[in-house]
A and B are shown apart, each in its own frame.
Chain A
C-alpha cells in the first residue's frame, strides 16, 4: 500500500546553509571583537583565558510576546498538586547563559560566543600581516609541531579516547531515557554503539623557528595620566597578542622612562606612578643598549613601540631624532604612538611632527585620543582592512 524507499546517497543537504551560517557567526565575532579590544577585562590576560564576546546578527527576530506583565504561559500538571504562587523553577541571577555551543533551553539563541584569547587573536589578526620581513639567521630551521586538535569520529585504535567515547554513550543513554526508549531501572544493558567512538585527533604543523623581541617603551612622566596609560596599555596588549600570534617565541622588554630610561617588569611598567620630566631619547637609548647586550639584530626580529603623549623637553629633540633613526634601522618595524586627550594642547614641539620625516614602511606614526581609535589605528599599522 505505502511506498518504501531507501536512499543511500548520504547527501548532506544542509552543508551549504551550514557554511553560510558559520560565515555569519565568524563575521559577527569579528564585528563584536572591535568593540571589546579595549575592554579592561581582557587586557593583560593570558592566552588560555576564556572570554565571552557578544555575537550579533545570528539571532532571528519575529513578532513574539515578551515575558512582561500580560504574558502568561500555560502548562498542564495532571496528577500533581499545585498552589497559586508556587515557584516551579528558581531563577538564576546571572543572565545570558547561552554559549557558542547553543543554549540549553528551548528558544534560547546564541548571543555570545565563548572563545579563548588565542582564538580571538586568530579572528583579529588573520587578515593582518607583519610587514615583509627579512628572515633572520635562525629562520631556516624548521620545527615540527605536533598539536592535539580535538576529537574525531574516525581514527586509529591507539588514539581512542575512552573518556569522550563514554561521554557519548552517556549522552545517548540519557536521551533514550528521556524519550522513553530505555528504562534505566530495567535489567537490559545499554551497549556502546559505533557512533560513540571518539578518537584523539593530531595535527602536525611545520613552522620556521623565528625569534622576536618586542620593546615596549612608555613615557611615564607627569603628563601621562591614568587614561592615557590605559590607552597605551590596551594598544600594547594588542601588539603583544599579535606578535605572539605570528611568532613561536617572543621576548618582551619593558622600558619606562622619564628623563632616564629603565628596564622594568611588566607589572611595574603598567602600574608605576607617573612623575618627572621627559626625555624621549632616554627610552630609545636604553633600547639600543639592551639590543647590543642581549639581542643581536642579526638573529632577532626586533619590534619597537614607543608610547608617549608627544611632549618632550626642547633640549632633547635633536638626540631623540637621532636615536629614533637608529632604532628604526635595526628594527623590523617600529612605531611611535602618541596618545592625547581630545583637544589636548601639546607644549613645545610635538613629537609626532618631529618624527614625521622618518615615516616609512618600517616606521609608523599612530595617534590615539579615545578607546575607539585603538582598533582602526592598529589595523592601519599592519595594513589590514578595517572593519571588513
Chain B
C-alpha cells in the first residue's frame, strides 16, 4: 500500500543530509523506525520513548488518541522524534513518499535543535533511552514484588504525576539542603549582638528558603517518609519532568526551526511537480494559524523567517542556540509582527462561549503581547512552591500568582495527592478573584 521502498527512503535521506550539512546543520544521527498507525499511537502514548515504564495513564492516552483518530477529529502527527543521541524518529508505513521526505527533513531540524539549543544541555541524550529502559525494569520489579504490588505502585505514580513539572524550571543549579544551611548559619553568626550562636541543631525540620522544586524537596526533606522503592520512583519521575521541561519551553522555536529547515531543504531537492505540489499544500496546512490558540509551527516559522530576512541566516543559528519561546517572542516580535500575526486574547465563559477580549490594535497590542508571553513555554503551567514547614508539621504551599487564577477543582485534588505524600497536613495559598484563598 505504500508507494515507496526502503531504498528510496535511503536515497532521499542522503540528499536531505547533504543539503543540511551544506548549510551547517549539526544534528545527532537519526534512527528511523517504520511502523503502522497503530504502533504510532502506541509510541505516542509513551512520548516516543522506545521503552517506558507502565502506568494506566498511558493506556488512557492511547485510547484517547485512537478514538480521536478513528473519529476523524484529529490526524496523527506526521513526525515523532525524541531528544536522544542517536535521535529516534518514526515513519508511518501508510505515508506517501513526499510526506516521508518532508518528515525526514523536518526531523533533521529537530535533532539539530536538540543538539544545539542551550535549554537541552543537561538532558543527557546519550543515556536517556537506556535510562528509561532501566526505569521501566525497576518499576516492573516493584509491581512484581509481592510486598508492594501494582496497586501501591500505581497509586504512588498517580501522586507524583499530579506534580508533573513542579520542579526546577530555569536550569539554575539547585542548592542542597546542607549548602543552604551552611550559608544561613554563616550569615546569622556574622550578625553582631545576637548573643547566641546558631548551629545545625536549631534548624532541624525547618525550611530556610522557599523551595521551587517539589520533587527535590520531598526527596531531601522528607526522605524518611518513603520506602526505598518510593524514593526510586521519585527520582525517575523527577528526572522525567526535568527531561521534558526544555521541550515545553521551546515548543515554538523547535517546531519553527524544523519547519524552517524542511521548507528550505525541500525547495533545494529539485522535486518533481507530483512531489512538490503536495509538499507545498501540506506545508501550508502545517504552518497556518489556528484561531483557537497559537500554532507553534506557525509562530516559529514566522520568527525564523523574520530573523533570516532582517539579520541573515547566521542570526537564525544563534537564535536557535540561545533562545527559548518566551525570550524569542519577547525580542523578535514587535508591534508590527503582533499585528501581522493578528494575535488576540480571549476569555472562556461558563458555558464554553469564547469572547475576544483584546486585539492587536494600537491601544492593546502590548497587552496582547504580554498575555502571549504568559501563555507560552512553561508559562502555561502554574508554578507552586513550598513556602515553609510549620511547627505542627503542616506543609505550606504557595502559588506564584501572576494574575491568572488556579482551577480550584484540580488544585484541591492535587493538594490531596500532596497530603498522601507528606502524610500530614498540607495547605495551599493562592489568590482568587483578588482575595487570598486557602485550600
Chain A residues within 8 Å of B, Cβ to Cβ: 1-7, 10-14, 16-22, 24, 58, 60-80, 82-93, 95, 101-102, 104, 168, 170-176, 178-181, 183, 193-194
> In the bound complex, how far is the Cα of B346 from the Cα of A71, in angstroms?
9
Q: How far is the CB of A296 from chain B (nearest CB, A)?
A: 51
Contacts of A92 in B (CB 8 A): 351-352
Closest B residue by C-beta to A87: B355
Contact of A78 among B342, B357, B372, B384 (CB under 8 A): B342
CB distance from A40 to the nearest CB of B (A): 26
Task: Answer whether A170 and B31 are a contact pair too, CB < 8 Å, given A13-B42, A86-B355.
Answer: no
C-alpha gap A75/B358 in the complex (Å): 11
Assess whether B404 is interfacial by the CB under 8 Å rule.
Answer: yes
| A61 x B75 contact (CB < 8 A) | no
Q: Is B243 engaged at the interface, CB distance under 8 Å to the other chain? A: no
Docked complex Cα distance between A82 and B33 (Å) = 44
Most-contacted residue by chain B among A20, A70, A72, A86 (CB, 10 A): A72
Interface centre among A24, A80, A172, A175 (most CB of B within 10 A): A175
| B58 at the binding interface (Cβ < 8 Å) | yes
Give A16's nearest chain B residue, CB to CB. B54
Check A76–B290 contact: CB distance below 8 A.
Answer: yes
CA A70 to CA B354, docked complex, whole Å:
15
Q: Quick check: A58 and B29 within 8 Å, CB to CB?
A: no
B414: Cβ under 8 A from any A Cβ: yes
Tell me if A21 and B59 are in contact (CB < 8 A).
yes
- 27 A-B residue pairs with Cβ-Cβ distance under 8 Å, sorted by A, are A4-B9, A5-B32, A7-B34, A12-B42, A18-B62, A20-B150, A63-B382, A65-B405, A66-B405, A66-B407, A67-B348, A72-B346, A72-B357, A74-B346, A75-B343, A75-B346, A76-B289, A76-B294, A78-B341, A78-B342, A80-B291, A84-B358, A91-B353, A101-B67, A172-B72, A175-B74, A180-B286
Proximity bits, B251-276, A CB within 8 Å = 1, else 0: 00000000000000000000000000
Chain A residues, CB < 8 A from B29: 1-3
Residues of B within 8 A of A2 (CB): 13, 17, 29-32, 104
Q: How far is the CA of A84 from the CA of B346 in the complex (A)?
A: 9
Given known A-B contacts A21-B56, A65-B407, A171-B70, A89 and B342 have beta carbons under 8 A apart: no
Known: A2-B32, A6-B6, A61-B413. 20 other contacts (CB 8 A): A1-B17, A2-B29, A2-B104, A6-B33, A11-B42, A20-B55, A21-B60, A61-B162, A65-B382, A65-B404, A69-B405, A69-B433, A72-B347, A72-B404, A74-B293, A74-B344, A76-B291, A76-B344, A181-B96, A181-B278
Per-position binary interface string of chain B over residues 353-378, scored 1 when its CB falls under 8 Å from any chain A CB and 0 otherwise: 11111110100100010011001000
- A90 to B351 CA separation, bound complex (whole angstroms): 8
B402's nearest neighbour on chain A, judged by CB, is A70
Contact of B407 among A64, A78, A179, A181 (CB under 8 A): A64
Closest 5 CB pairs of A and B: A91-B351, A180-B285, A91-B353, A17-B59, A179-B75
Which of A2, A22, A82, A193 has most chain B Cβ within 10 Å? A2
| Contact (Cβ within 8 A) B298 A76 | yes
Once A20-B154, A63-B410 are accepted as A-B contacts, the answer to whether A102 and B68 lie under 8 Å apart by CB is yes
The 8 A CB mask of B41-71 against A (1 = contact, 0 = none) is 1110110000000111111101110011111
- Which residues of B are interface residues toward A (Cβ below 8 A)? 1, 6, 9-10, 13-14, 17, 29-35, 38-39, 41-43, 45-46, 54-60, 62-64, 67-75, 86, 96, 99, 104, 150, 154, 158, 161-162, 164, 166, 278, 281-282, 284-286, 289-295, 298-299, 340-359, 361, 364, 368, 371-372, 375, 380-382, 384, 399, 403-411, 413-414, 417, 432-433
B-side interface mostly: mixed
CA distance A113 to B271 in the complex (A): 50
Question: When the two chains form the complex, which single residue of A16, A90, A175, A194 contacts B75, counting CB atoms closer than 8 Å?
Answer: A175
Measured CA separation A184–B292 after assembly (Å) = 23
Is there contact, CB below 8 Å, between B340 and A78? yes
- Shortest A134–chain B CB gap in Å is 40
Question: Which of B56, B86, B359, B405 has its CB near the most chain A CB atoms (within 10 A)?
Answer: B56
- Are B411 and A63 in contact, with the CB atoms below 8 A? yes
Docked-complex contact A89 and B340, CB < 8 angstroms = no
- Verify A91–B352 contact, CB threshold 8 A: yes
Chain B residue contacts of A3, Cβ below 8 A = 29-32, 86
Name which residue of chain A comes closest to B428, CB basis: A63
Whether the pair B162, A62 counts as a contact (CB closer than 8 A) is: yes
Known: A2-B30, A3-B29, A91-B351. A61 touches B410 (CB 8 A): yes
| Distance of A1 Cα from B111 Cα, bound (Å) | 14
